[in-house]
Amino acid sequence: MDNFTFHIPTRFVFGKSAEMQTGEKLKELGLKNVLIVYGTGSVVRSGLLDRVKESLKNNDISFMELGGIVPNPVDGPVYEGIRIGRENNIDCVLGLGGGSALDTAKAIAVGIPYDGDFWDFYMDKATVEEALPVISVLTIAAAGSESSKSSVITKEDIPLKRGLNTEKIRPVLAILNPELTYTVPAIQKAYGIADMMAHIFERYFTNTKDVLLTDELCEAVLRTMIKSGSKMLFNSQDYASHADIMWAGTLAHNDTLATGRQQDWSCHGIAHGISARFGAAHGATLAVLFPFWMKHQLHHDVERFYRFAVKVMGIDEQEDHEAAAIEGIDKLRTFFDSLGLPHSLKTFGVTEDALPELVDDVKLNAEDKIGFFNPLGKEDILAIYKAALN
Amino acid sequence: MDNFTFHIPTRFVFGKSAEMQTGEKLKELGLKNVLIVYGTGSVVRSGLLDRVKESLKNNDISFMELGGIVPNPVDGPVYEGIRIGRENNIDCVLGLGGGSALDTAKAIAVGIPYDGDFWDFYMDKATVEEALPVISVLTIAAAGSESSKSSVITKEDIPLKRGLNTEKIRPVLAILNPELTYTVPAIQKAYGIADMMAHIFERYFTNTKDVLLTDELCEAVLRTMIKSGSKMLFNSQDYASHADIMWAGTLAHNDTLATGRQQDWSCHGIAHGISARFGAAHGATLAVLFPFWMKHQLHHDVERFYRFAVKVMGIDEQEDHEAAAIEGIDKLRTFFDSLGLPHSLKTFGVTEDALPELVDDVKLNAEDKIGFFNPLGKEDILAIYKAALN
């Protein structure tokens, strides 16, 4: 186990009708003037936006609105939100929706107090010194953005998808009502499950030794995701499974499961370009790429993949650890299939001639590699993309 | 899963030499004048107290000291700490040691700003409105006090052992260096393992339905405690197992594993009197009582005890769930035996004629019961005590 510091300042309000407590909780935090950032219709149609606004009004909290955020959120609305925030002396930014609304809210929160272009932070050209408090009211369990320190935005004119990681954007308050996720389309629920499982994979496949406790925690949550994920998908009004998945998605990405472990993040890194260039859903790209990433990385640590196969995928213990590990990876792919997830990059319109450009999009380190578990060079990335085109 | 709110404001600094960061971290929190509360010698002899003081001096933080806290901490030093704190304008209380030093630090932290007797809070005669920030530097993994909202103090002249639970005493900073626990005597390490496992049992045995995710989390940590607990006990310089156990003990008691579950706490409630009247170590009383508590409660929910037997104790799945459940409980007792823990109340000098008084000591609710899973009346408590005298 590596040395670590750990601090999750987020206040969680979880359960039925949780959104009705938004105003009261903001008042407790001394916040008075909110910018509400949301998507393209369902939060309006469902009445959720109205309920949140009512809760704010009941607690004498004023607000402005910025709607129309799209999946794989882009920079345009961020600039718009920064302008609105500055002109109206907004004191906090509330993301209402899924990862896209939340990531946009975070980008606005760092942009408002910054003199330069908010994109500087996503290109590692500047470090975040200050941010407005971020609040999340979640409607799609997936991205973990509701209590993570991450935000991913696509600069539309390039196009380039980049992530920012800073403690300054970790939400101070997360409102989680599993019932709000009932109406999410089944395929989007499936994307969410793939996304949150991938968040654990990025932490689980590590070189850090002596990590029994966090291995057990990661495996516990992955097993729950598989079990409750299937249940949720085929029982659209089942509170128990929607609640499990919503809280599991939060735990998957706020580092509770991964203290003292080196994390990898190479599969996310090679997935981003597929969304940026082909408009593919983030969770869908991870569902396609992760099994191929695993097979490519298998020989770096067969025992870790064997443990994954046995403990998470329920493969029987056996003498041939490599065969069992492969069986585990195949079973993961079969599980993703059962949720209706794609299993080839072709699904997104990717063709072989697009691969070199996708490889060039990947943000590499000074050694021209990405990741920490078994760092991928350009040839590795190309090999994974090619395998995933089958 | 029940609705819940969840907020762990504690900042954790975990790892080798973590205590050297004490001063720096206090400075970041704006704290300047510390009361250090510690035990009866080992933190002095080991040089730990000096290292912490050096770290404070290096960051221009002044301090006072209050040593001599004993296991099952009593009220005397609390009054002394409150006096010192008030006379010296202390702005935070740092517990340096195990649960006893930390629980005393918490009692002092609520007592300093309170006009009345701090004991009022422990007797439910007053509610904590204010407390000084509490800091923990842990040397014994056990009580979970390093980031819990609990403090247990014994009023020596009665004698009566009582707990206080309030968010106001949850430490703002917890410094956890597993190496500091190497020199804890083996039997005290064993008490610690029993104590932290008991913290999970009080959460695991619940009537709340649909708790798959938190069941999995509780089981993951319990399995780790069994595995790393044995390893730690017989390898006194093994960093990995000491680190697992230290962090597991923290997770066991800060509610990370137990969101949305009703908790029980009846076994802790009936154990306190054994410590108060017979000076028994807290963990030792729990090691003796929990298997008998489980057998007494078995028929309230055989399936839950079956799940415990299979998932935690590694009993094979079988048709006769009750037989397997009993096997699981017996295996827990055998595990405690293997750590050198006692398995009869006789060990503490308890005799049959002391039982009625012990029963009368237990703090019951308005219905003359204790707990929530299957509330115990006086006859139940007596039956468990009697069984544990064998």
What pLDDT, on the 0 to 100 scale, is given for residue A209? 97
Which residues of chain A are within 8 Å of residue B243 when distances are taken between CB atoms? Answer: 1, 210, 260
**What mean pLDDT comes out for the span B366-381?**
98
Tell the burial category of B20 from Cβ atoms under 10 Å away from its Cβ (0-12, 13-18, 19+): middle
Which strand (E) or helix (H) includes residue B198?
A: helix B186-204
Flag if A220 and B220 touch (Cβ within 8 Å): yes
Q: How far apart are CA A120 and CA A75, in angstroms?
A: 12
Res A159 pLDDT > 90: no
Which residues of chain B are within 8 Å of residue A244 when distances are taken between CB atoms? Answer: 1, 210, 212-213
| Span A283-307, pLDDT tens digits | 999 999 999 999 999 999 999 999 9
Res A254 pLDDT > 90: no
CA B137 to chain A, closest CA, distance in angstroms equals: 14
What pLDDT, on the 0 to 100 scale, is given for residue A42? 86
Which residues of chain A are within 8 Å of residue B217 when distances are taken between CB atoms? Answer: 217, 220-221
How many residues make up chain B in this entry? 390
**What mean pLDDT comes out for the span B289-304?**
98
- What residue ranges define each of the domains in chain A, with the CATH number in brackets? 11-180 (3.40.50.1970), 186-387 (1.20.1090.10)
Minimal Cα distance from B215: which residue of A? A220
Res B96 pLDDT > 90: yes
What pLDDT, on the 0 to 100 scale, is given for residue B142? 84
Flag if B14 and A7 touch (Cβ within 8 Å): no
What pLDDT, on the 0 to 100 scale, is given for residue A154? 93
Q: Assess B201–A contact: CB distance below 8 Å, yes or no.
A: no
| Span A41-57, pLDDT tens digits | 889 999 999 999 999 99
What pLDDT, on the 0 to 100 scale, is given for residue B71? 86
What pLDDT, on the 0 to 100 scale, is given for residue A144? 87
What pLDDT, on the 0 to 100 scale, is given for residue A36? 98
What pLDDT, on the 0 to 100 scale, is given for residue B255? 87
> What pTM was computed for the model?
0.94
Top residue of A147, A170, A196, A212 to mutate, by most chain B CBs within 10 Å, is: A212
CB-CB neighbours of B98 under 10 Å: 30
For A81-141, give the DSSP string: HHHHHHHTT--EEEEEESHHHHHHHHHHHHHTT-SS-THHHHTTSS-------EEEEESSS
What pLDDT, on the 0 to 100 scale, is given for residue A384? 98
| Span B346-365, pLDDT tens digits | 999 999 999 999 999 999 99
CA A358 to chain B, closest CA, distance in angstroms equals: 37
Flag if B14 and A223 touch (Cβ within 8 Å): no
What pLDDT, on the 0 to 100 scale, is given for residue B41? 80
Question: A291: closest CA among A363, A370, A198?
Answer: A198
Flag if B4 and A16 touch (Cβ within 8 Å): no
Which strand (E) or helix (H) includes residue B276?
A: helix B266-278
Res A86 pLDDT > 90: yes
Flag if A14 and B5 touch (Cβ within 8 Å): yes
Q: How far apart are CA B111 and CA B134, in angstroms?
A: 12
What pLDDT, on the 0 to 100 scale, is given for residue B40? 83
Return the half-sphere exposure (C-beta side, CA atoms, 13 A cut-off) of residue B375. 11
Res B72 pLDDT > 90: no
| Span B20-51, pLDDT tens digits | 999 999 999 999 999 999 998 889 999 999 99
**What mean pLDDT comes out for the span A259-268?**
97
| Mean pLDDT, rounded, of chain A | 96
CA B259 to chain A, closest CA, distance in angstroms equals: 9
